[in-house]
A = this chain, B = another copy of it.
Amino acid sequence: MPRALLFCLAQQAIFSESDAQWMRLALEAAARGLGRTSPNPPVGCALVSEGELVGVGHHARAGSDHAEVVALREAGARARGATAYVTLEPCTHHGRTPPCSEALLAAGIRRAVIATLDPDPRVSGRGRRRLLQEGVEVATGLLAEQALEQQAGFRSRVVRGRPWVTVKWAMTLDGKVATPGGESRWISGEAARQEAHRLRDRSDLVAVGSGTVLADDPALTTRLPEGGRDAVAVLFDRSGKIPLDARAVRPGTVVVTAPEQAGRWSERPVRVLPAPDLEEALTALASWEFCNLLLEGGPGLTSQFLAHDLIDEVWVALAPKLLGAGLPPLHGPQRPLRLAAELQGVRSAPLGGDLLVRGRLHPVPELTAAEGGG
C-alpha cells in the first residue's frame, strides 16, 4: 500500500497518507523556528478543512504567538470543522496568550492530530484530554520521531535540566580533524561548511574549549548566504588560558571557568559561569533557558564531554581524502571497544563532495515519568 500508507501506532490511532502530508507541512513550519524559540520549543500547526489548507503557523520566537494562534488567525471562520495538525500537544496553561487548546476549541476545530505530547509530566496529556472532553477527535503520535528531533533541545532542558548537546567535526577518511600543527582549513568542502553554519544558526549556544581558541581564535558567528542568527558563544576555559580579547569574546558570550578564574573577566561584557565540572556548567546553562548547545571542539573538550556521557548527537562531515599525520577529533577517554559509545538512528548522505554522517548517543527525552501519554 505504498501511496495510501497507513500508520498504526501504540495508541491504535490510524493515520492516512494525507494526514502525514499535512503533518509534514506543520513540521516544516515548525522548523522555521529552530534556534529562535528557546526556552520554548519550535512548534508548527496546519489547519485543513475539506482537504484544503486554511491556515498554517509556527512559533517564531519566545514571546510571540504560538503556532496554533498564528494558524487560526489565518484561517478565520474557515477553522470551523477543520482538522488541526500540531507538532506538539496544544498548551493548557495561561501565559502571555490564552491556552492554545481553548483557542482551538473556540474556533470550532473538529479533529486534532498531534505529533508528540508535552514532555512535562505534570501537563503531558492535558491538552489532549481537554480537546477530547469537548468532543474533538484526537489522534497522537503521527511523525512523532521527526517532531521529537525538532524538540530535542526543549525536551532536554525540561526533562533532564541540561541542553541537548550536538558535537560536530569535519574529518578526513583517515580520521583526522587537523594537521599535527593544527591546520584545519579546510578539511571539508563548501557545502559541509555551510551546513555547519546552519547548525550554528539553529543552536542557542556554540561552544569551544581554550585549545581551539588559542589555535584558531574562531569568531563563532553564523555566516550563511541568507545571513543567519549568531548563537551565544560559550568558551570553556577552566584554567584561564583564553585571551581577554579573543574574537568570540563579545557581549553575551558565556565563559565557563573554574571559580578562582572568574575574576579575570570582570572588565569584560561576558557572563562568567564558574562551574566545578561540565555537568554543573550544563545545568546552569539550562537554568539560563538555553536549550541546545553545539560543541565544536577541540579534542580535549570533546573527549571530556564523551567521558562524562554528555554528548547527545554527533554530526561528522567526512571528507574523502587521506591526510596522514594529524589530530583526531577526540583522544579520550580510554576504554575497551565494548564500551565505545554506539550511535542510534544513524543517517548518512552526500553533502557536496563530503559525506555527512549523523546519529544520536541518547534518545530525545519524551517524558520524565510514565504518567501522561495515551
Give residues 155-186 of A contacting B (CB, 8 Å): 171-177, 179-180, 183-186
A318 within 8 A of B: yes
Residues of A in contact (CB 8 Å), total: 51
Q: Which of B175, B186, B187, B359 contacts A328 (CB 8 A)?
A: B175
A258 within 8 A of B: no
A134 within 8 A of B: no
Contacts of A348 in B (CB 8 A): 348, 350, 355
Q: Which of B314, B320, B355 contacts A322 (CB 8 A)?
A: B314
A20 within 8 A of B: no
Give residues 320-352 of A contacting B (CB, 8 Å): 320-326, 328-337, 340-343, 346, 348, 350
Q: Quick check: which of A27-35, A36-44, A191-199, A303-311 contacts chain B, the rest being far away?
A: A303-311
A152 within 8 A of B: no
CA distance A353 to B342 in the complex (A): 10
Give residues 38-55 of A contacting B (CB, 8 Å): none
A336 to chain B, nearest CB (A): 6
B357 and A337: CB pair below 8 A?
no
A367 within 8 A of B: no
CA distance A329 to B322 in the complex (A): 10
A270 within 8 A of B: no
Q: Which of B180, B322, B335 contacts A341 (CB 8 A)?
A: B322
B321 and A342: CB pair below 8 A?
yes
CA distance A323 to B316 in the complex (A): 14
B355 and A183: CB pair below 8 A?
no
A320 and B334: CB pair below 8 A?
no
A103 within 8 A of B: no
Contacts of A180 in B (CB 8 A): 334
A187 and B337: CB pair below 8 A?
yes
Q: How many copies does the complex hold?
A: 2
B318 and A318: CB pair below 8 A?
yes
A359 to chain B, nearest CB (A): 5
A123 within 8 A of B: no
B306 and A321: CB pair below 8 A?
no
A55 to chain B, nearest CB (A): 39
Evaluate whether A179 and B336 lie within 8 angstroms (CB atoms) in the complex, with A330-B322, A361-B322 already known.
yes
CA distance A321 to B339 in the complex (A): 10
B320 and A172: CB pair below 8 A?
no
Most interface-central of A183, A346, A350 (chain B CB within 10 A): A346
A305 to chain B, nearest CB (A): 10
A331 and B341: CB pair below 8 A?
no
A324 and B320: CB pair below 8 A?
no
Evaluate whether A340 and B322 lie within 8 angstroms (CB atoms) in the complex, with A174-B175, A175-B171 already known.
yes
A307 and B324: CB pair below 8 A?
yes
Q: Which of B175, B185, B319, B350 contacts A329 (CB 8 A)?
A: B175
A334's closest neighbor in chain B, by CB? Answer: B325
Q: Can you list 18 A-B contacts (CB < 8 A)?
A: A173-B357, A173-B359, A174-B175, A174-B328, A174-B330, A184-B337, A306-B324, A311-B322, A318-B357, A320-B343, A321-B341, A324-B335, A324-B340, A325-B331, A325-B333, A325-B334, A348-B350, A348-B355
Give 13 A-B pairs besides A173-B314, A180-B334 with Cβ atoms closer than 8 angstroms: A171-B175, A175-B175, A175-B328, A175-B329, A184-B337, A186-B337, A187-B337, A320-B343, A321-B342, A323-B337, A324-B330, A324-B333, A325-B333
* Interface, chain A (partner B; CB < 8 A): 171-177, 179-180, 183-187, 303, 306-307, 311, 314, 316, 318-326, 328-337, 340-343, 346, 348, 350, 353, 355, 357, 359, 361
